[in-house]
Chains A and B, each alone.
Chain A
Amino acid sequence: DTAVSQTPKYLVTQMGNDKSIKCEQNLGHDTMYWYKQDSKKFLKIMFSYNNKELIINETVPNRFSPKSPDKAHLNLHINSLELGDSAVYFCASTTRSGNTIYFGEGSWLTVV
């Protein structure tokens, strides 16, 4: 029973397209995140939501728009995709206290 699940796992799309990645957690956590991992494996936080409210928004282009319909779901929509958006996007969740973070399996996005 997957704790944090993301879809799709692989996504190949053309520049200029709009795409979404969905994330769901069944751990009952209050806080969810999106992280971006680049080709050098560096993990950078993009957004954090706590109980559906945006609490962290790092310097991410406004082409990226997160949405949290409820505290178990956090989706990421990306407009006008660029080559530099190619990366692995990880969804994660944690308890309110910020203890152990649980990651999804990642979504491999390739923009061509």
Chain B
Amino acid sequence: GIQVEQSPPDLILQEGANSTLRCNFSDSVNNLQWFHQNPWGQLINLFYIPSGTKQNGRLSATTVATERYSLLYISSSQTTDSGVYFCAVGSSGGGFKTIFGAGTRLFVKA
């Protein structure tokens, strides 16, 4: 099945800094999403982005499907950005099976 790798596994930022999180996947996908899990455990969908670029406030994401990677950009980070960021992918051959990467654990210091 599809393999999903996220990097870096852990990241510590000073408030106000920018960062880029990466997601590599091993096969073609028709579905790619980024999620944020806050310190209380809640999973929030950030982007549905199987290809192209999207922006939402300080967050933006880019997926280059032909090269099998996606990037999540966080600008001017805030302490509330802390948590775990997951990339999740699904393929047309996998039915409705969405596979999650291991996540990037982000801590933003005040």
Q: Which residues of A contact B (CB under 8 A)?
A: 31, 33, 35, 40-45, 48, 50, 55-56, 88, 90, 94, 98-103, 105-106, 108
Contacts and interface: CB of A to CB of B under 8 A. Distances in A.
A89 B50 CA distance: 26
Interface of B: 30-31, 33, 35, 37, 41-43, 45, 48, 84, 86, 88, 90, 95-100, 102-103, 105
A100 B96 contact: no
The DSSP consensus for interface residues of chain A is strand
Nearest to A99: B48
A31 B31 contact: no
Contacts of B35: 103
- The majority secondary structure among interface residues of chain B is strand
Contact of B48 (A43, A48, A88, A100): A100
A41 B84 contact: yes
A40 B97 CA distance: 21
A55 B96 contact: yes
7 shortest A-B CB distances, which residue pairs? A103-B43, A43-B100, A100-B48, A98-B31, A48-B96, A31-B96, A100-B45
- Most chain B CB within 10 A, of A50, A88, A98, is at A98
Contacts of B45: 100-103
A33 B103 CA distance: 19
A42 B102 contact: yes
A105 B98 contact: no
7 contacts: A42-B100, A43-B100, A45-B98, A48-B97, A90-B43, A101-B88, A106-B41
A85 B110 CA distance: 36
Given A41-B37, A99-B31, A101-B33, A50 B96 contact: yes
Nearest to B86: A43
Contacts of B33: 100-101
